[in-house]
Amino acid sequence: MTYKVNLKKGDEGYSIWVPGLPGCWSQGNTEEEALENIKDAIQAYLETVEELSQDKESRYVEVN
């Protein structure tokens, strides 16, 4: 999957977050490091969401 991420350069490197996944953020000393780190953060975020919704009734919808 592809996710839109936002980057912000600061004094200590780059902050990076995923607007579509509230609370999913990371950082890195370089832009490249931040982009790699957010991949791990997204994976952990999605795994946590899956665990938390395991016993819940779910449906899937398609959006074009």
Q: Is residue 59 part of a domain?
A: no
In this predicted structure, what is the pLDDT of residue 13? 97
Q: Is residue 63 part of a domain?
A: no
Predicted TM-score (pTM) of the model is 0.86
| pLDDT tens for each residue of 22-56 | 999 999 999 999 999 999 999 999 999 999 999 99
Q: Is residue 28 part of a domain?
A: yes
CA dihedral 50, 53, 59, 63 (to 10 degrees): -50
Half-sphere exposure (CA, 13 Å, Cβ side) for 24? 23
Domain region containing 47: 6-52
Number of domains the chain contains: 1
